Amino acid sequence: MSGRALMISALLAGCAAANAQQRFERTLPAEMKADYRVFSIRCSKCHSLARPLNSGITDERAWERYVSRMRLQPGSGITARDVPPIMRFLSYYSRQTLAVQGRP
């Protein structure tokens, strides 16, 4: 594959990911959208959003440890003020995941 074809392929993949993220954000309740934005901006700085969302973590304390660890990573940009909205979103996401799985 030529360099140009690779570049076009990467651009299309990026657009598809951005569209999927926008579709996901539209399905969120209004009160979760601002928290999701903080999560998506901060957490995508170092890795894809799929990493935490597909982690299988549903325990609040596990999320607290995870977010605290990520906050300490150099260049993460996660501030103490970012932690509450990130935690609210992850708690919401975990509850939704458990509900879909039919678990309390």
Domain presence at residue 43: yes
**Number of independent structural domains in the chain:** 1
pLDDT at position 81 over 80: yes
Domain presence at residue 78: yes
**CATH number of the CATH domain containing 51:** 1.10.760
Domain presence at residue 3: no
What mean pLDDT, rounded, does the chain reach?
81
Domain presence at residue 21: no
pLDDT at residue 18, as a whole number = 52
Domain presence at residue 5: no
More confident call, 51 vs 1: 51
More confident call, 27 vs 71: 71
Domain presence at residue 23: no
Domain presence at residue 91: yes
pLDDT at residue 71, as a whole number = 95
Structure tokens at 56: 């299988």
Domain presence at residue 84: yes
pLDDT at residue 14, as a whole number = 47
Range of the domain at 58: 29-101
Range from 25-29, 63-67, 74-78 carrying the lowest mean pLDDT: 25-29
Cα-trace Rg, the chain: 16
The answer to whether 63 and 57 have CB atoms below 8 angstroms apart is yes
pTM of model > 0.85: no
Closest to 87 in 3D by CA, of 52, 48, 56, 44: 52
d(CA 46, CA 44) in angstroms, rounded, equals 5
Structure tokens at 15: 């657009």
